[in-house]
Chains A and B, each alone.
Chain A
Amino acid sequence: MSKKKLNIRNKLYGLLLFNLIWYFVAGLVDSPVLIGPVATYVNMFNIMPSMWSHLTVSLERIVVGLLISILAGAAIGIVMARSPKVNSMLSPLVYFTYPVPKLALLPVVMLLTGIGEISKIIMIILIVIFQVIISTRDAVNNIPKDNYNVLISLGAGKMQQFREITFPAILPDLFTTLRIALGIAVSVLFFTETYGTDRGMGYYIVDAWMRINYLDMYAGIALLSIMGFLLFLLIDLADTVCCKWNKAISV
C-alpha cells in the first residue's frame, strides 16, 4: 500500500517539477513565443469547447492504432516464438524493416490509402507493431519450460496452455511495450495530423502556429500532452491491477 502511495506521489512530484521549470524558464526568457503554464492552462480551459472535437479524433486514432498494433503484434510474436519455421521466415523481415525510418513512408501510405483516417492509423501501426512483435516473441521464449511441462503432464490442450501460462506470463512485457509504444504513437500521430486533415490535435496545433496564435498553440500542446499522460496513467493502473504478482516481493 505504501509503495502505491509513493508511486502516485512520484508522479505528482514529476508533474509539479515540470510545471515549475516551465514557469521559471518562461519567466526568464520573457518572450511572446514562450508562454508560461498559467496563461496556457487558463486559455486551455477557455477554448476547450473548440478543441474538444479535435481531441476526440486524436484519441480515437491513438487507441485504435495501439489496439490493433498490440493485438496483431502479440499474435505474430507468439506464433513466431512457438513455431521455429514461422520465426525463421519472419525474423529477417522484422530485423530488416526495424531500422527503416517509417515516418518517411507517410507520403507512400497517404498515396495508397488516401488522406482519411486509415492512413493515420496505418502509420501508427507501421511504427509500433515491430516493437510489439519482437518483445512478445522474446517474452514467450523466456517463459520457463517447467511451466509448460507441468501442463503437458496434465494433458492440457494448446488453449489451456495459452490461458494458464503464455498469456499471463507475457502480460507485464506487453504493458511495458504498450508504454513505450504510446509515447511513440503520440509523436507519430502529431506528425501525420499535420498533413491532409483538418481534424485532430496535430492539425489544431500547427493551424494555431500558422495563424501566429501562440496562446492557442500552447493550449493545444498542453492538451495533447495531458491526453498522453492520462493514457500512460491508465496503462499503469491496468498493469498494477492485472500483474499484482509481478510486484510481489521476492523472498
Chain B
Amino acid sequence: MLRIRDISVKFGDTTILNRINLELNAGEIYGIIGPSGSGKSTFLHVLCNIIQAFEGEILLNEETLHPRKHKIAFVPQHYGLPDWQRVDRNILLPQRIRKEDNSEHFQAHYRNILEGLDLTGLTKRFPRELSGGQRQRVSLARAFVQRPDILLMDEPFSALDAITSENSQELFLNLWKENRTTTIFTTHNVAEAVKLGKRIILFSPAPATVLKVIDNPVHTQEKTNDEWEMMRFTQEIKSHIKALWE
C-alpha cells in the first residue's frame, strides 16, 4: 500500500502540486490523466526523490519512501538512456548502482526480460543505433530488471507512433502480468489510460489536485479487450474531464 499524504510542491511563489492525497493498492496500475503542464511529471519526480523540497509524506507499507530503502524504477519521458552505454550496460545500470549480485537466478530473469521485450539481438547496440520504440523498450527493461517495489513511468508511450505504441503497450502488459509491480504512469491520452490503468486518477489543471479516482471496469490485465465497453468507458472519462477541467 502506497500512501500519499498532503503532498505540496512550490517553485518560488508558484504552487505546482496542491495537497495531493492518494492511497494506492499494491500490485495495481494507476494512470494519471491531467492537462499538459498540470504537474504530472512533478508528482512523479517527487515520488522518485528527484524533487526533495516538498511538503507532506509518502509511505510505502508504512515506511517513508526512499531510493535507498525501496526499489523505485523510473522511466522518464525521453527514456533517459545514456548514449555511451550499450543496451546491456544500460539495462544493468540498477544492478551496478545497487551493487547487486549477478547470480544465475538473476541472469535467467534478465534473459527473460530481454526476450519479453524483444531486445535479445540488440544488447550490443548503442542507444543511437535504436529506433524510438526500441529505446523505449530498453528503458522498460531497465525498470523491470530490478524487480521494483514501485514503477513510475512519465508519458511512457506518447513519443511513439500509433502502431509502435500499441505494440509496446502489449509487451508492457505481458511483462507486468508476470511481475505485478505497483505502477503509476502519466498520460494525456485517455485511450492509453483506459487500456493500461486499473484505476484512473484525474488531475486538475495547475496547480494539480486529485479531482477523482475512477475504477476501470475494462482493464485489460484480466480479460480480453471488450472494444465496445472500452469505448464507452473512454467516453465516460472524457465527459468527466469536460465537467471537471472547466
Q: Measuring CB to CB, which residues of chain A are less than 8 angstroms from any residue of chain B?
A: 144, 146-147, 149-156, 160, 164-165, 168-169, 171, 243-246, 248-251
B66 CB contacts on chain A under 8 angstroms? 155
Interface pair B80/A150, CB less than 8 Å apart: yes
Q: Which residues of B approach A to under 8 Å, CB–CB?
A: 45, 48-50, 66-68, 72-74, 76-80, 82-86, 93-94, 96-98, 125-126, 128-131, 142, 146, 152
Chain B hits for A156, CB < 8 A: 97
Are A251 and B128 closer than 8 Å at their CB atoms?
yes
Return A176 CB to nearest CB of chain B, in Å: 15
Q: List the 9 shortest-distance A-B pairs measured between CB atoms, nearest first.
A: A155-B67, A146-B80, A153-B48, A153-B74, A150-B80, A248-B126, A168-B84, A146-B76, A245-B84
- In the complex, what's the smallest C-beta–C-beta distance from B85 to chain A, in angstroms? 8
- B126 pairs with A245, CB closer than 8 A: yes
Beyond the given pairs A154-B98, A248-B126, 7 more chain A to chain B contacts, judged by CB atoms under 8 angstroms and listed by A's residue number, are A146-B76, A146-B78, A146-B79, A168-B85, A169-B83, A245-B83, A251-B131
B50 touches A152 (CB 8 A): yes
Asked if B73 contacts A153 (CB within 8 A), the reply is: yes
Residue of A nearest to B94 (CB): A154
Q: DSSP majority for the B interface?
A: loop
Contact (Cβ within 8 A) A243 B78: no
Contact of A155 among B77, B79, B98, B131 (CB under 8 A): B98
Q: Check if A153 sits within 8 Å of B49, measured CB to CB.
A: yes
Assembly CA distance A154 to B66 (angstroms):
9
Give Cα A150 to B131, complex, Å.
Answer: 20
Chain A residue nearest in CB terms to B86: A245
B152: A residues at CB distance < 8 A: 153
What is the CA–CA distance of A154 and B49 in the complex, to the nearest angstrom? 9
B129: contacting residue among A147, A150, A151, A251, CB under 8 A: A251
Complex CA distance for A249 and B125, rounded to whole angstroms = 10
Q: Looking across the interface, which residue of chain B has its beta carbon closest to that of A156?
A: B97
Contact A153 B67 (CB under 8 A): yes
B128 contact from A144, A150, A154, A249, Cβ within 8 A: A249
